[in-house]
A and B are shown apart, each in its own frame.
Chain A
Amino acid sequence: MYYPGLDIALSLLYLLIILGEASYKRFSFLQQSLIGIVWQLPALFLSLTVLLGLDRATDFSYYFIFMLQLWHTPVLPLITLLPDFIHLDKPFYYYELFLMAPLLWTIYVLPLIKRNKSLFHQKKINPLA
């Protein structure tokens, strides 16, 4: 049985849960940033290996980008909604695979940045006034 669009709904739910998790006030900005990096470490490692060409030094270079795509499976349905075109012989989604780890990290720390910003812009109130 095929349920068209269910993958997109699940993908959005995944992002919502991440945002919900990120909004939960437990960690400092530095701690949450580090958690985000550790969470996306496999993707960062695979992306850097492919981008720096280090994968070509192995006998299984093809599998690096393959594993990167599998890692990003939860957000892949959303990637397919973006326009598809070819740039420098590669499809657009290929570049998006490398951008996805920093993007997910940003989503994870975004609520904290917003919270810190609002604290920064809070008006000073004179308790004696």
Chain B
Amino acid sequence: MNNRFRITIFPILVFLFLLLIVAQNWSLLTNNKNSVVYTYLHSFASGVIGSGYGSASAAEIPFSLLEPGDILLGGWPNCAYGKYSHAGLYLGEGEVLEAYVDYGICIQPLGHYDEYTELCFIRVNVSDEIKAKIIADAHNYVSKTFYPVAFKQNDRYYNCSSIIWKAYKEQKINLDANNDLWIAPESFRNSPYVNIIFEKGM
């Protein structure tokens, strides 16, 4: 095969798939200001690219408000993909299901959420029975692969938001009102299924 052609096979295939994805989701890119890709591109254009940075005030956080199945959102100023950069699913007894690049899907203690400058506790309006199933299933995700830009519809790699979306979706609850390709922590706050029980920050 011609040298010049051989070397272009894979980039051409990747480009075609990207083109297909963009074509299928054109409205998310152009019309929907709540979509993750729109938010990120808008931030990128203003020179903001990371998950933000800052230091929290020493305010008392009412962790006692939390019930199993609640969602915690944490964020820093200058986060490129919304007000919140991180999400966790409260499992009860001070434990949260989270996802990090170096720990994968893991269970972490609740305490570190007081380090965020922006903090939000969200309650999903579903029965306790559904929440109990979600909590029971959540442990099955531990040690699965983290991938920062994981598509929402996925069975093998997740980020902090997509794992929570998946846990609820398994119980037929779609927490993404945007029907986006990706899901960001901010999307949970905009879901019609939730109530905000605590919010701190800007």
Contact = CB atoms under 8 A, between A and B. Distances in A.
A complexed with B: yes
Contact of B155 (A4, A62, A66, A93): A4
Interface in B3-17: 6-7, 9-10, 13-14, 17
A111 interface: no
Interface string A58-84: 001011011001100000110111001
A interface majority secondary structure:
helix
Given A69-B147, A85-B143, A77 B101 contact: no
Contacts of A2: 151, 153-154
A33 B70 CA distance: 52
B129 interface: no
Nearest to A92: B143
Contact of B101 (A14, A69, A89, A92): A69
A21 B153 contact: no
Q: How large is the interface on B (under 10, 10 to 19, 20 to 34, 35 or more residues)?
A: 20 to 34
B103 A89 contact: yes
B145 interface: yes
A90 interface: yes
A13 interface: yes
Contacts of B142: 86
Interface string B7-44: 10110011001000000100000000000000000000
Given A69-B147, A76-B157, A85-B143, A94 B10 contact: no
Interface in B56-107: 101-106
B95 to A, nearest CB: 15
A24 B10 CA distance: 16
Interface string B132-165: 0000000000111111110101111100000000
A76 B155 contact: no
Given A2-B153, A79-B145, A80-B157, A13 B13 contact: yes
A62 B14 CA distance: 28
A79 B7 CA distance: 24
Contact of A91 (B9, B10, B103, B153): B103
A88 to B, nearest CB: 11
Contacts of A89: 103
27 contacts: A1-B24, A2-B151, A2-B153, A2-B154, A10-B13, A13-B13, A21-B6, A24-B6, A60-B50, A63-B50, A65-B102, A66-B101, A69-B101, A69-B147, A70-B149, A80-B145, A84-B143, A84-B144, A85-B143, A86-B142, A90-B103, A91-B104, A91-B105, A91-B106, A91-B143, A93-B145, A94-B102
